[in-house]
Amino acid sequence: MPASTRHHRALAVFVHCLGILAAVPALPAAAPEAAITPPPVVVRPAAATPTPTPTDPATGSTPAGPAPPPLVSPSVVVPTRGAPSVVKVAVTPAGTPSPGYQVQVRNTGSLPVATTVRQELPAGTSATWITPGGRATRSASTTEVSWQLSLPARSTTTLHTALTAAAPGRPLTAPACAFTSNGDRPYDCATATWKASAPGTEVTAAPAWRQPPALLAALAGVLLLTLGGLWWWQRRRRRAAAAPAGTAEATGTVGMAEAGMSAAGDRGTVYPRSATPTTATRRRKPPVWLVVGAAVAVLAGVVLAAAVTATQRVAAIDTTTRQPTSGAWVGRSATGVVGVPLREQALEFTVYRVACPPTSVAAGRQCQATVGVRNVSEQQQTWHGQMQRAYLPNGTWVSTDETATRLANEGRDVFSQPLAAGARMVLPLVFTVDGTAQPQQLELRSGVFSAGVRVDVP
């Protein structure tokens, strides 16, 4: 056989073997390669006959196909919108002369729910009346009222509390939260501020004559009027002094004119003279001392007004804050108490409750803060556990214990995903502190350069 014929036959056998290998279904050993490169999806008409699944000739079983691709790429981070809760809480202040609140707890689910409702009373107050079933617990600085409730499906329960006023006319804020039956994880929280409604005690603005800008404007006007009156009086006196000399001069001129006319009466006059001679008047300008005095008075008024305004602004600055509210920090800082919503650049924080167990362990004592976070910006926001701090009485601070916080949130990492725009969630934050001291202030912020908010803990 010629060499060229042998080569052609060998090539034909090789191509035939490749065709057979392509027609044989994929073996289990080739499944990983198929998973790496998934086959293209072929769209078939609805009326087409289904194609039978090929089987393995050796084992007679159907080989496992490649795993379907994920619906969302692992690199895409989906912002969280807060887990929906079946228990909703609403707090409204009572319209009574003494402090009081109404707490509405609503079960929106189709099954009964056992919950523990806790309401934090303001410092310096005590409960005078609570809805039967409630129990008041007093600590070193605050008083807490709690109820153990079993909410029927799709029902609403209203609770009432009445307090003693710590100081007449002072607003009082009392937040309330609904927890799980064991009292660890919050369902929902709400807050309200009671204000005394006493008729006739409305604060009115100070009268115009007691406001610094009005006083400065009046002083400048008086100075200008005084200088203008002096200038006008000096001008009138100079005119009065110059009037007799001008009259005598005019009389002499008229006499000379009449004598000339009589002397030239016989000869006649070519150019007639006027009967009343005109005197040239010179326009007078205000004296230099008057202009300089008026300018100095206006400049002094402007400088005094600027000094008073700057003094008032400096006096309004809160010197107790430890960090600036402008400059390198983004946004403005806010300071408040428990139950008051505080807003920074992107997030709104509300601390509803701070609880520290009375017992301590060797590893430290865990204080749990129930915090509500709302994204008030128009885009998703990421916040970090290391930026949330608790300050102790000795000046030291600790960041969030992220491991304990994850356990308190049933294994969910609340800092791993950003918060969607307009979303709100209520969650516990755990701080591990040494000793028996309780945190005096919480510092919460959305970013490293955010001014953040500070909440005073009673």
Question: Which sequence spans correspond to the domains of the chain?
Answer: 87-194, 334-456
**CA distance linking residue 103 with residue 101, whole number of Å:** 6
pLDDT on residue 229: 80
Burial class (CB in 10 A: 0-12, 13-18, 19+), 270: exposed
Distance, CA of 250 to CA of 247 (rounded, Å): 5
Q: What is the pLDDT tens value at each position of the chain, 458 positions in all?
A: 454 556 567 667 676 666 666 655 444 444 443 444 444 444 444 444 444 445 454 445 455 455 554 444 444 455 666 567 899 999 999 888 889 999 999 999 999 999 999 999 888 888 899 999 999 988 766 789 999 999 999 999 999 999 987 677 788 899 999 999 877 789 999 999 998 765 444 445 556 656 667 777 777 777 778 877 877 887 777 777 776 655 555 555 555 555 455 544 455 555 555 555 555 555 566 666 667 777 777 777 777 777 777 666 555 444 444 444 444 567 778 999 999 999 988 899 999 999 888 765 556 788 999 999 999 998 998 888 899 999 998 889 999 999 999 999 989 999 988 899 999 999 999 999 988 888 999 999 988 888 899 999 98
Q: Give residue 45's pLDDT.
A: 42
Tell me the pTM. Answer: 0.57
CA 445 vs. chain centroid, Å, equals: 11
113 and 156 Cβ atoms separated by less than 8 Å: no
How many Å separate Cα 217 from the centre of its chain? 37
The CATH fold of domain 334-456: Immunoglobulin-like (2.60.40)
Tell me how far CA of residue 439 lies from CA of 261, 365, 427, in angstroms. Answer: 113, 11, 18
In this predicted structure, what is the pLDDT of residue 432?
92
Planar angle of CA 124, 126, 130, nearest 5 degrees? 150
Task: Round to whole Å and give the CA distance between 413 and 427.
Answer: 11
* CATH of the domain spanning 87-194: 2.60.40.1510
Beta bridge partners of 23: none
Q: Which residues on adjacent β-strands are paired with residue 130?
A: 161
Using DSSP, state whether 19 is helix, strand or coil.
helix
CB 332, CB 343: distance < 8 Å: no
Looking up tokens 């997030």 gives: 347
Same fold, 87-194 and 334-456: yes
* Measured distance CA(323)–CA(451) in Å, rounded: 8
Output the six-digit token pair for 197. 């409604």
